[in-house]
Structure 1
Amino acid sequence: MATKTTARATTQERSRAARTRRLIVHIGLIGFGLIMLYPLLWMLASSFKPTAEIFRAPGLIPETFHPGNYTEGWTALQFPFHHYLLNSAIVVVGAIIGNLIGCSMAAYAFARLEFRGKRLFFAIMLATIMLPIHVVIVPQYILFAEIGWINTFLPLIVPKLLATDGFFIFLMVQFIRGLPKDLDEAARIDGCGHVRIFFRIIMPLSLPALATTAIFTFIWTWNDFFSQLIFLTSPDMYTVPVALRTFVDSSSQTSWGPLFAMSVIALGPVFGFFLAGQKYLVKGIATTGIK
């Protein structure tokens, strides 16, 4: 009887210790999450403050509620802000379509086809992932200037069709390798070639990887500032990141309130697209072995 009582007490102590550990972990995660969210919350709060109050009162609650920052910011630049949103949308849609087409075809070749130099080309492709954009931007600019593509959206879209994003190729290669080859063999018995296998077998089954590629492409392209600043030279071609930069004037006073207001608007499509595709994003990452 004493043994049962002791065992029960030990179990209760372990249960209390486990609950305490979970509570500590949850409190720590909540605190860390609030720290990570604070800059975003501060920007959201600052978008409703007058410019003079933003840095004078760094709290989250505005002393003077000023929603006029949104109307001022929308028309503060040379063109209405929806013009820059449309430019960004054009670039993003083109980049997504380009990556889905180019990277999926390259991934199918690496995952299913056998050709001379396959391992070498795959290694070169992986090596390109480690190259920063600053290494290749100069030769790219010279090339695009020679063919007259500067100040157009073409340098931001056409390279995607040529499978230049090694990360997405690798992601899709890992996913396609996880698909049973028996499906390919069954399709060949029915008379399908590589083209029909790719479009009718591989692509429908690769929806999670395609969705992951689309989500990451959307976020990275929408937030891209450096390459868009280099290739787009006139205000009518500016995208959202470049347009936001024009709010900052080093020679005079910066309109921080309208800048933060337009930054909040610029974050909206990113959050919306991410929330809409998060189920496929998690599934795509989990099934490709990228942890």
Structure 2
Amino acid sequence: MTEVTVRDDAPSATNSPTSGSGPVSPENGDGATGPRERAKPTYWRSRTRSVLKHLGLILFGLIMLYPLLWMISSSFKPNDLIFREPGLIPSEFTTGNYTEGWNALLHPFSHYLMNSAIIVLGSLLGNLVACSMAAYAFARLQFRGRNLWFAIMLMSIMLPIHVIIVPQYILFSELQWINTFLPLIVPKLLATDAFFIFLMVQFFRGIPTELDEAARLDGCGHGRIYLRIMLPLSLPALATTAIFTFIWTWNDFFSQLIFLTRPEMYTVPIALRTYIDATAESSWGSLFAMSIVSLLPIFLVFLFGQKYLVKGIATTGIK
């Protein structure tokens, strides 16, 4: 009969970690904690960083919004309390600034809103049509000197308006366009905004050329390819162009001040400037009230077009 020898250093059943006779310690032999114990400090550390980051963003956002909130609050204060009470909550609440500011100038404020709307609509039409056609030519057509003309177009972005405003004024004065909306609308119809051309060129280049080739096999020319294929697929870029054109044209002060000198031709930015008088008392309450009115169209356009704006800037083609 064979004898079985039992070693003294063999682990016994009672000392086995898999035995159910006693609880398992969270610490191993060298004193290290288990994975669950290690995960708790990491979780709370990440949560603390996230809370601090969001608090910092909220504080930074409130700092940026404070001037706008102060202007809204000041539009409901009497003139003599606007600069004496820097707080946001007015001690005296009045809506007279809106009624007074609406009729304070030579014409009702709706007249200046209409003037700005005419210029904005003309600029929108010009940029959407002319810039998209120029972008299609640079992106899809092959012609002599294309790269040279594209480089010249990009160089025009670096020209400040103060360099070309004097030659433009002389030209438009010879054409007898001063105190009309033509100097502010007609250049848009000639694709003078190189930024929007470059934006659409990058977007058009992201659209597969196989779509153009398939359309040519069906007998389409460049006109139908542009209208039926490129424009429907370029809605984000077109929306971005429309939103930026609206904001920049609506807020434009310098060009409109140069070409529009008669009070009946004033736009919103020039009309707001007339509320401030350097020699007499300025109507700050009316100015702030009409400034809020002038900001509403920009706010609504950005609110409803934000999705297309982000998509048009972030993408350079189709999915």
Identify whether the pair has TM-score above 0.5, normalized to the shorter chain. Answer: yes
Q: Please tell me whether residue 67 in structure 1 is matched to residue 92 in structure 2.
A: no
Which residue identity lines up with residue 185 of structure 1 in the other structure?
Answer: E
Q: 1:30: which partner in 2? A: 58
Q: Which residue in 2 is equivalent to 1:2? A: 27
Find the counterpart in structure 2 of residue 258 from structure 1: 286
Q: Which runs of 5+ in 2 are unaligned?
A: 1-25
Which whole-Å CA distance do the structure 2 matches of 1:14 and 1:178 have between them?
A: 43
1:176 maps onto 2:204 in alignment? yes
Query: What displacement does 1:148 show?
Result: 0.8
Deviation at 1:5, TM superposition (A): 4.6
> What secondary structure is seen at the aligned counterpart in 2 of 1:49?
coil
The alignment of Structure 1 onto Structure 2 pairs a total of residues equal to 289
CA-based RMSD: 1.2
Could you tell me which of 118, 127, 146 is aligned with 1:90? 118
Greater shift, 15-24 or 202-211, is seen at 15-24
Matches of 2:81 and 2:144, distance apart in 1: 65
Classify the secondary structure of the residue corresponding to 1:228: helix
Structure 1: state its 5+ residue gaps.
none
Does residue 167 of the first structure (1) align with residue 192 of the second (2)?
Answer: no
Counterpart for residue 137 of structure 1:
165
Asked if 1:107 corresponds to 2:135, the answer is yes
Instruction: Kindly report which structure 2 residues correspond to 1:1-291, keeping only aligned pairs within 5 A, or say none.
Output: 2=27, 5-288=33-316
Q: How far apart, in 1, do the equivalents of 2:260 and 2:312 lie?
A: 33
Match of 1:2, SS? coil
Superimposed CA distance per residue, residues 243-265 of structure 1 (whole angstroms, 9 cap, x where no aligned partner): 00000111100000000000000
Q: Following the alignment from structure 2 to structure 1, what is the Cα–Cα distance between the partners of residues 283 and 293?
A: 16
Mapped partners of 1:10, 1:148: distance in 2: 79
Higher relative contact order (CA 8 A, sep 6+): 1
Distance 1:163 1:41 in 2: 38
Residue 61 of structure 1 aligns with an amino acid whose one-letter code is I
For the residues of structure 2 that align with 1:36 and 1:62, how far apart are their CA atoms? 20
In structure 2, what is the Cα distance between the partners aligned to 1:37 and 1:254? 25
Give the structure-2-normalised TM-score.
0.88
Q: What residue identity is the alignment partner of 1:189?
A: L
User: Which amino acid is the alignment partner of residue 89 of structure 1?
Assistant: A
Could you tell me how far apart the structure 2 residues matched to 1:243 and 1:228 are? 11
Mapped to 1, the partners of 2:309 and 2:233 lie a distance apart of 15
Give the Cα separation in 2 of the matches to 1:54 and 1:209. 43
Identity %: 71
Structure with greater helix percent? 1
TM-score by length of structure 1 reads: 0.97
Q: Offset of 1:180 from its aligned partner?
A: 0.8
Residue type matched to 1:279 in 2? Answer: K
Q: CA offsets, 1:113-168, max 9 Å, x none?
A: 11111111111111111221111111111111111111000111110111111111
Distance 1:288 1:179 in 2: 8
Q: Give, in angstroms, the shift of residue 61 of structure 1.
A: 0.7
Q: Distance in 2 between matches of 1:164 and 1:44?
A: 36
